[in-house]
Structure 1
Amino acid sequence: MAESKEQDALLKRINELAHKNKEEGLTEEETKERDRLRKEYLKNFREAMRSNIEMMRIFDKEGKEVTPEKVREIQRKKGLRDD
């Protein structure tokens, strides 16, 4: 949950800067801050998405596991699988 609050705070500030940019423009310092915040937000998002995907197990309609082998290997390396 802490990551979510951090992401919410980043997004809030990014949106504040976007609004200010539309209204009156940004200073050079604010532009640098916006760019830094965007990169941090995307980095965090990608890490969370990767983690979610790596934790998933996929099953077909018959109940047979069809998780891609690449994901299974990652899960094995992380000790999430014992097969």
Structure 2
Amino acid sequence: MNNVDIDRINELYHKSKSVGLTKAEEAEQKKLRKAYLTAIRKNLRGSLNRIDIQNKDGSIENLGEKYGKKLDKN
């Protein structure tokens, strides 16, 4: 997802509120929104997989190694 795609999402949103969208534009908007959400989820999952916690016994545990593999299968 790049800035051109995000700008297009915003442009389509504003057009939908002012004059409405054609069927082709609605399909484009839906496709771009889906791609945007996929990119957000991928970035969030990557950030969460890098979280380390310290257990009471002092050991460090990476949550991505513990739980991240389960999420990649879905």
Give the TM-score of the pair, scaled to structure 2.
0.71
Question: Tell me, which stretches of 5 or more residues in structure 1 are unaligned?
Answer: 78-83
Which of 7, 24, 49 aligns to 1:54? It is 49
| C-alpha distance after superposition, 1:8-42 (max 9, x if no partner) | 33221111001001111001000000000000000
Q: Which has the higher strand share?
A: 2
Which of 26, 29, 34 aligns to 2:24? It is 29
* Identity score, percent: 32
Q: Secondary structure at the match of 1:10?
A: helix
Q: Secondary structure at the match of 1:58?
A: strand
- Per the TM alignment, residue 58 of structure 1 is displaced from its structure 2 partner at its CA by 3.1
Residues 57 and 65 in structure 1, CA contact (< 8 A), matched pair in contact too: no
Which of 39, 42, 50 aligns to 1:44? It is 39
- Counterpart position of 1:71: 64
Give the TM-score of the pair, scaled to structure 1.
0.64
- Per the TM alignment, residue 65 of structure 1 is displaced from its structure 2 partner at its CA by 5.7
Amino acid at match of 1:20: K
Q: Secondary structure at the match of 2:42?
A: helix
